[in-house]
Amino acid sequence: MIAASMTNIERYADLYENELFDMEKHFTGLIAAVFTPMCEDGSLNLSQVRPIVEYLIRTQVSGIFVCGTTGEGPSLSSEERRATAAAYVKAAAGRLPVIVQVGHNSLAESRILASHAQAIGADAISAIPPTYFKFKAIKTLVDCLAEISSAAPKLPLFYYHIPSVTGMDFDMVEFFRQAGKRLPRLAGIKFSDSAIPKFQAAAEFENRRFDVLFGSDEMLLSGLCAGAAGAVGSTYNFAGPLYRRLIDAFDRGDINEARRCQGLSVEMVRIFCRYRAHPALKAAMKLIGLDCGPSRLPLVTLTPEELQAMKEELGAVGFFDWALNKG
C-alpha cells in the first residue's frame, strides 16, 4: 500500500508540473466564436468545418471557440456537440488553439463533454453553469465549475460570463478571489458583457493574473483601452480583416483610424440586429462563400428575401471589402 501511494503521489506531482507549464500559455488576439454548420434538414454538416478553419487562418484569427452561443451549443445534443468539437480540433490540427464550451444544465453532461474535450486534444474548456435553476452565491458557481473542471484536469478553464443569457451577473473580481483558491486550472473568463468598468476590474485582478477575454465585438476598441489582450466574438468569423486593422491602428496610436474601424463594426452589427441577430450572423457566412446552413429552432433562419435585403444593406456599408480583405 505504501509503494502504491508513493506511485500516485509521483503521478500527481508530474501532472502538477505539467499543469504549471501549460498554464503559462495565454489566449490572445481575435478568437472566433465559430458556427455549427448544418444541412438544410437541420443535421450537422461537418464537412464545412475545414473550409471555415482554413478561412479563419487566412484572415489571421488567433483561435476558435466551439459550441458557444454563436455555435448554438445549447440547441445541440451532447452527441452533436462532441462531434462538432472533434471536427474543429481535427481541422485546426494545432494551428489554432481550440476552446470548447462544455456548459450544460446537467453537470453530469458537462463532465462528459469536458472529458471528451480533453481526450480529443482541445486546448481549453469554457463553461456556463446550469442556468435553469438560478442561484445567488458565487460559491455555488465555483462548486459547479469545480465539478466540470475535474473531468478535464489537464485543460485550462474559462468561466463563460454572459449575464444576458444566464440571468446571473456576479462580481467577477469576487469570483476570482474565491475561484482562484479552489480551481487550479482556472485560466480566466470569457467576458460577454458590455460593462467596461467591470471588465477592467476583472482584467486588472492580482496584476493581470487571469486572461479575461473580451466578448463584445462592437466595443472592441473600448476593450482594448481597458486592457483586453484577447477577444472572443461572432463577427470575427467573417470580418477579421476589419478588426485586425482596428487593433493595428490602436497599437500604433492611431486612434482616429481605430475609431473609424470600430464605427464600421457598429454599423455592421446594427444591420444584423435588424434581421434577428444570431440567424443573421450565421447567414453572413453564406454571403462570403462559407454556407453554414440554417439555424436551429427556436432561432428562426432568415428567408431568402431577408438574406437578399441584408446583403444589400451590408454592401452599402462596405462589408464585402472588409470580409474579403479588399480595403
* pLDDT tens digits along 18-77: 443 345 567 999 999 999 999 999 999 999 999 999 999 999 999 999 999 999 999 999
- Give the domain ranges of the chain: 27-254
Name beta bridge partners: 212.
Answer: 189
Tell me how many degrees the CA angle 282-317-283 measures, rounded to the nearest 5.
Answer: 10
Please report the DSSP string for 275-320 in residue order: T-HHHHHHHHHHHTT----PPPTTS-PPPHHHHHHHHHHHHHTTHH
Please report the DSSP string for 217-271 in residue order: GGGHHHHHHTT-SEEEESGGGT-HHHHHHHHHHHHTT-HHHHHHHHHHHHHHHHH
Say which DSSP state 62 is in: -
Per residue in 173-198, pLDDT tens?
A: 999 999 999 999 999 999 999 999 99
d(CA 123, CA 152): 11
The separation between CA 161 and the C-alpha centre of its own chain, rounded to angstroms, equals: 11
- Please identify every residue annotated as catalytic: 160, 190
pLDDT of residue 8: 31
Query: Domain 27-254 carries which CATH code?
Result: 3.20.20.70
Q: What does the mean pLDDT of the chain come to?
A: 92
Q: Amino acid identity, residue 240?
A: G
Q: Which residues contact 241 (CB under 8 A, 6 or more apart)?
A: 59, 60, 322, 323, 324, 325
**pTM, entire model:** 0.91
The separation between CA 131 and the C-alpha centre of its own chain, rounded to angstroms, equals: 18
Residue 326 has pLDDT above 70, yes or no: no
Residue 212 has pLDDT above 70, yes or no: yes
**Number of Cα atoms under 13 Å in the Cβ half of residue 213:** 29
Read off the pLDDT of each residue in 188-214 and give the average, rounded to a whole number. 96
pLDDT of residue 324: 77
Per residue in 90-121, pLDDT tens?
A: 999 999 999 999 999 999 999 999 999 999 99
d(CA 264, CA 262): 5
Pick from 92, 148, 106: nearest CA to 125? 148
Pick from 134, 207, 142, 201: nearest CA to 175? 142
3-state percent breakdown (helix, strand, coil) of the chain, nearest 5: 55, 10, 35
